[in-house]
Structure 1
Amino acid sequence: MHTKNKIAAVVVSALVAGLAGCSTVSSPDTASAIKAPSANNDPQLAVQYNLDVNKVPAENFDLSKFKLNTPRDDNKPERAGKVMEIYKPMLNDKAKPFSDSEWFYTDSVTGAMVFASPNKAMTTPNSKNARSELRAMLSDDYSSSKNNFTIASTDNAEAYGAIGGHMSATLSVDWVSTSGDYKKNGAFATVIGQIHGSKNEPLKIMYRKLPEHEYGSVYWNYETNALGDDYSQRRDIRHEVFGQSGLRQGSKDPVTGIKLGEIFSYDVNVEGDIMHLTFTKNPGKPNQEIKTFDIDLAKGKYQGDKYDQGYANDWMYFKAGTYNQCNTGSSGCSNNGIEAGDYAKVSFFQFSLDQ
């Protein structure tokens, strides 16, 4: 089950209608009814990655095991007052597959699957941050254990939808917020891939770029699985990949990092109890650079943390998109719209889940 620029100028374009024959969402009364500009404008990317610019994301990518959250108020009666959720059948409807001309759409030049999210919008119940993000759903019964995966050491592991799983992506981060508090790691950052557990997160892949820098940084966090009375002791353990994490105002530009619009890849393969991570800079080029990590998710007490129980006997699921870490509260970001740079945007050129 587990086989495998900083942008010179922000060109503002009017909000365009969705692709003909596709289910679309638009909202003229949002803070900025403007589509986020593209960082990549090379039509050869569509050829290279076999993408059709005239199709919506679910027609270019296999999203059959995913639902989607977008940063809007849901208009379905059963979800009144909640964040927009696009169920699997709606996302993958063959007659009218879903797109959202602001927050989830196909790039008209490259064919990439684009996720965008403002600094402030409706959020999921336990978060302060807006997102446009896919969530793996392995079952049609959302409450079933079959909807999620686990690792091999879990008691009764066969009761889950899968043991392990393999998610891979080739992408570019095209924008992160240019407003925020430099003392907060969430400012100027977005999450581009996750494994989420029932309470905590064994994997959160981050991109962060300070406004005055040309290069951004890619890093990932392991959240210690502190539970019960020790729940408040959970913490993120950071691992640098490309560039440097934790930068503050006045820091040097992390020239070993990745620019906005620069294509890179990540590969997350959970086999047995081990989470194998592979990150590739300049994929397929002579100057390709690869970083790998291997983590035993069952072991616990990661890097000596006495509260970490590990993730055996927990259920988990994959996520991908842009989970904007800039908000108007804890990270001190403003929300003056896309034209002011108050958003995050990510483009996926290749994306797959084998589970």
Structure 2
Amino acid sequence: MSRFTSLSAISIASVILLTACGGGGIALDSKAPTVVTPPVVTPPELTPEVPSDACVNESYAIVSASDDGEFDATYEPSLVIDGNTTPASRWSSLGANKALTLDLGSTKSLGSLKVKWFDGADRQSNFAVETSTDNSSWEKVLTEGISSGKHSGFEQVDLTKSNARYIKIVGLGNTENDWNSIVEVEAHSCEGADGQIVAEFPNELGIELIDWYLSVPTDEDNNGRSDSISEKKLAAGYTNSEFFYASADGGIVMRSPSYGFKTSTNTSYVRVELREMLRRGNTAHNTQGVNKNNWVFGSASASAQADAGGTDGELNVTLAVNNVTTTGENYQIGRLVIGQIHANDDEPIRLYYRKLPNNDKGSIYFAHESRAQNVDEAYVEMIGTRSNSASNPADGIALDEKFSYRINVTANLLTVTIIREGKGDVVAEYDMTGSLFDEDGQYQYFKVGVYHLNNSSDEDEYAQATFYEIRNSHLGYAKSE
């Protein structure tokens, strides 16, 4: 039984500074993975029922966009239909009742819009929607619309069903000022046209995102780096329809493109990833350092353990990898990091999933990076191999297959467990004695998500995983705000 079972576990569901820093670990006393086989239970097959009157959604092309001509000269109406979702490409007009009019080219059956609001995660926009077949007589299909103030991506706007060629979005200012600003608009035939655009994550997820902040490969604040979403904003229900959103089956999707804004100039790869924050929104504690925001090894000094937010740690995650890359440099194809422990500059563990294009199953392995000089990075293969030409792993994990992993650190012993229903657990231990992560000044934190280790693929490729459970625990960790 884990030494953490008496702790109060944090149940959450929800973008790993992988650099060329440091040396690597050496397997001082590592053991080959072991398999513990439970009895096989075959679940019944279920066939989902689809209502006969279900709406089959159609996305409509918008042929033109216009307003009364009083828009900000830099932000003209046509920018809402140019396919560019960066904040600089938007329509902005100052004052109440400023209307953006969209032309579908011909009359369509309209059920909803998808709108990316400017500063959509920081303020609420007030608006109404009207439709017309002749650009003269108008029908009100939404009278008191208000955006959530939680989404930096597209947000679903359901409308009273109508026949429409023209769509008028009437701006009524926002919670900060009287500007009406929209980055992009899409028109759809059905209400709830896109399952990933939701107002809130389902309550049954039991998310405690106050324990984490998120990195997404956008640059809403125009600082040249990826955006960081704070613990409090995450806990308030932040989503992004492109990179971080609820799945139809009760999980949280993290989707990382191959190219986008990165966390710093020192990293080569894009990520959509959660970073553990034991301070839980209390900014009196710095992000970095041996303090109440981070944890230390149980083999660290007594003073370090007293200063830290917790000692040792366990991370339990259930997920399914949905998509990996199939093009690019041979050593980068199909690989991503799904979890890790990060220290000041190095990584005691990076846990990889990798599936090659000609295989229908993927491998699991991890890397250990030591702080000791002249020590190479060590890799431990758990399921299949990390080879660039690996054959299909007989007991591998397919895309969309749910599985769990556990990362446990007790003093200098690292234990990694892969758990699958109806199959034996695969367990690997690694002795980190000599890797110097218990020295004074060293601190650790968990990271969970999609750290996308391919920056050479075709531009439209991406990596994606859906997370159903994330629980972190530490000895002495108090959930104080």
Counterpart position of 1:346 = 465
Match of 2:251 among 91, 98, 112: 112
**1:324 pairs with 2:452:** yes
Partners of 1:70 and 1:309 in 2: how far apart?
Answer: 31
Partners of 1:127 and 1:58 in 2: how far apart?
Answer: 35
The structure whose residues are more often helix, as a share, is 1
**1:309 pairs with 2:448:** no
**1:221 pairs with 2:367:** yes
**1:56 pairs with 2:201:** yes
* Secondary structure class of the residue paired with 1:98: coil
CA deviation profile, 1:173-216 (whole Å, cap 9, x unmatched): 0001111111x2x3311110010011110111101111121111
Counterpart position of 1:8 = none
Give the Å deviation of 1:58: 8.5
Partners of 1:138 and 1:315 in 2: how far apart?
Answer: 12
Q: Is the 8 A contact 1:22 1:56 kept in 2?
A: no
Counterpart position of 2:17 = none
Match of 1:151 among 272, 290, 297: 297
Structure 2: tracts of 5 or more residues without a match? 10-56, 60-112, 122-146, 155-181, 187-194, 475-481
Match of 1:26 among 137, 149, 153: 153
Partners of 1:116 and 1:346 in 2: how far apart?
Answer: 7
Give the Å deviation of 1:351: 1.5
Partners of 1:295 and 1:58 in 2: how far apart?
Answer: 37
Partners of 2:396 and 2:115 in 1: how far apart?
Answer: 36
Q: Is the 8 A contact 2:335 2:454 kept in 1?
A: yes
Summarize the Cα distance change of 1:68–1:214 in structure 2 as closer, same or farther, 3 Å threshold: same
**1:174 pairs with 2:322:** yes
Counterpart position of 2:273 = 133
Partners of 1:212 and 1:180 in 2: how far apart?
Answer: 14
Q: Is the 8 A contact 2:148 2:199 kept in 1?
A: no
Give the Å deviation of 1:59: 7.4
Summarize the Cα distance change of 1:290–1:100 in structure 2 as closer, same or farther, 3 Å threshold: same
* Secondary structure class of the residue paired with 1:111: coil
Match of 2:341 among 181, 192, 195: 195
Q: Is the 8 A contact 1:220 1:239 kept in 2?
A: yes
Give the Å deviation of 1:150: 0.5
Partners of 1:296 and 1:57 in 2: how far apart?
Answer: 40
CA deviation profile, 1:223-273 (whole Å, cap 9, x unmatched): 1223xxx4xx4543111122221132xx42222211111111101122333
Larger Rg: 2
Partners of 1:57 and 1:143 in 2: how far apart?
Answer: 32
Counterpart position of 1:255 = 394
Partners of 2:183 and 2:375 in 1: how far apart?
Answer: 39
Partners of 1:242 and 1:17 in 2: how far apart?
Answer: 43
Counterpart position of 1:290 = 425
TM-score, with length taken from structure 1: 0.74
Give the count of matched residue pairs. Answer: 291
**1:85 pairs with 2:228:** yes
* Secondary structure class of the residue paired with 1:192: strand
* Secondary structure class of the residue paired with 1:91: helix
Give the Å deviation of 1:311: 4.1
Partners of 1:296 and 1:347 in 2: how far apart?
Answer: 31
1:320 is matched by which residue type in structure 2? V
Partners of 1:165 and 1:210 in 2: how far apart?
Answer: 32
| Identity, % of aligned positions | 28
Q: Is the 8 A contact 1:113 1:347 kept in 2?
A: yes
Q: Is the 8 A contact 1:117 1:132 kept in 2?
A: yes
* Secondary structure class of the residue paired with 1:200: coil
Partners of 1:17 and 1:68 in 2: how far apart?
Answer: 22
1:154 is matched by which residue type in structure 2? A
Counterpart position of 2:192 = none
* Secondary structure class of the residue paired with 2:209: coil
Range moving further from structure 2, 207-216 or 17-26: 17-26
* Secondary structure class of the residue paired with 2:216: strand
Match of 2:403 among 264, 267, 273: 264
Q: Is the 8 A contact 2:297 2:437 kept in 1?
A: no
Q: Which runs of 4+ in 1 moved over 6 A?
A: 12-15, 27-30
Aligned residues: CA RMSD: 3.0
Q: Is the 8 A contact 2:254 2:450 kept in 1?
A: yes
Q: Is the 8 A contact 1:74 1:81 kept in 2?
A: no
- Report which structure shows greater RCO (CA 8 Å, sep ≥6): 1
* Secondary structure class of the residue paired with 2:292: helix
Counterpart position of 1:160 = 308
**1:241 pairs with 2:382:** yes
Summarize the Cα distance change of 1:13–1:153 in structure 2 as closer, same or farther, 3 Å threshold: farther
Summarize the Cα distance change of 1:72–1:58 in structure 2 as closer, same or farther, 3 Å threshold: farther
* Secondary structure class of the residue paired with 1:114: strand
Partners of 2:58 and 2:294 in 1: how far apart?
Answer: 40
Partners of 1:160 and 1:254 in 2: how far apart?
Answer: 41
Range moving further from structure 2, 268-277 or 208-217: 268-277
Partners of 1:81 and 1:21 in 2: how far apart?
Answer: 26
* Secondary structure class of the residue paired with 2:362: strand
